[in-house]
Amino acid sequence: MDVLKITPRGYCHGVVDAIRIAKHVGEESKGPVHMLGLLVHNTHVTDEMQEHGVKLVDAPDRMAGLDKIKEGTVIFTAHGVSPAVKEKAAAMGLNSVDATCSDVIRTHDLIDRLVADGYEVVYIGLRGHPEPEGAMGHGPGKVHLVQEAADIDSLRISSEKVAVTCQTTLSVWDTDDLIEKVKARYPQAEVHNEICSATQERQEAAVEAAKEVDLVIVVGSARSSNSKRLVEVVEKKGGKPAYLIDSLEEIRPEWFRGVKRVGVTSGASTPSQLTRKVVEYLQELEAPA
């Protein structure tokens, strides 16, 4: 099989930093070390972190996660947390280590400034994902989560000052329609697009590569927002089929019937050795007739 390795792909700077911080803290700390949720959305990475002494605390939200920790160190993941979570960790006497990505911190700072200036913020993001949870905690009652068009119809905003921003790992193709709808309802709304450059660049490369291949394999976890967006943009904007796989074992040979050339990319939290194994497997694969 002819394989096009799509670049850029794989680890972004936020993931590299979070892994470096967690490994260091796991190896150097005296007491127990916990990551408050998946450090990054890839189970291979979080399994590896546990080998470095960092225990996973999984819970429906970060506050509930803190309740499961008795002592020691807590690492806030790359997705960021709300100020209330930081305050609670401090009040519990935990040693806090912040592995929030600098791009997520930029969004938190933006929300802080907007709310202090009297704005209400429409935040486009995914319900139940930790990044919106942390971002919304920067303006309780002033930041409104929108995931789909119906959420915009039910918005109740009292301030004249309205701003729109978004989760870092969405795609412009997802957010554009929602932003237009918010603008139709609140024409004065200021738009602050916070999709990070790592996400944007990987998506643009995947859409461009889709022109040259018959299908695209995205290596990444089903819990990874940016990996799922890669599949969507290839299908919607690139016009080619795409499959998300967490590991080599999930590949189905029948996907490749009649396929001459396949593109491979990976999410921002996918270890490169996983992607390399997939590329090597596909290079050896004879496409079924």
Q: By the criterion CB under 6 A, which residues form the site for ligand SF4? A: 12-15, 78, 101, 103-104, 168-169, 196, 198-199, 226, 268
- C-beta closer to ligand SF4: residue 3 or 12: 12
Q: Are 146 and 122 in contact (CB under 8 A)?
A: yes
- C-beta closer to ligand SF4: residue 100 or 240: 100
CB-based contacts of 77, cutoff 8 Å, min separation 6: 18, 35, 36, 37, 38, 39, 40, 99, 100, 130
Quote the least distance from Cβ 163 to ligand SF4, whole Å. 19
Quote the least distance from Cβ 284 to ligand SF4, whole Å. 31
- C-beta closer to ligand SF4: residue 147 or 226: 226
On the CB side of 215, how many CA atoms lie within 13 Å of its CA? Answer: 19
Residues recognised as catalytic: 131
Quote the least distance from Cβ 218 to ligand SF4, whole Å. 14
Instruction: Give the span between the Cα atoms of 70 and 243, in whole angstroms.
Output: 41
User: Residue 77's Cα: distance from chain center in Å?
Assistant: 11
**C-alpha distance from residue 282 to each of 260, 266, 275 (Å):** 11, 15, 11
- C-beta closer to ligand SF4: residue 57 or 78: 78
On the CB side of 98, how many CA atoms lie within 13 Å of its CA? Answer: 15
Chain residue at closest Cβ approach to ligand SF4: 14
Quote the least distance from Cβ 262 to ligand SF4, whole Å. 24
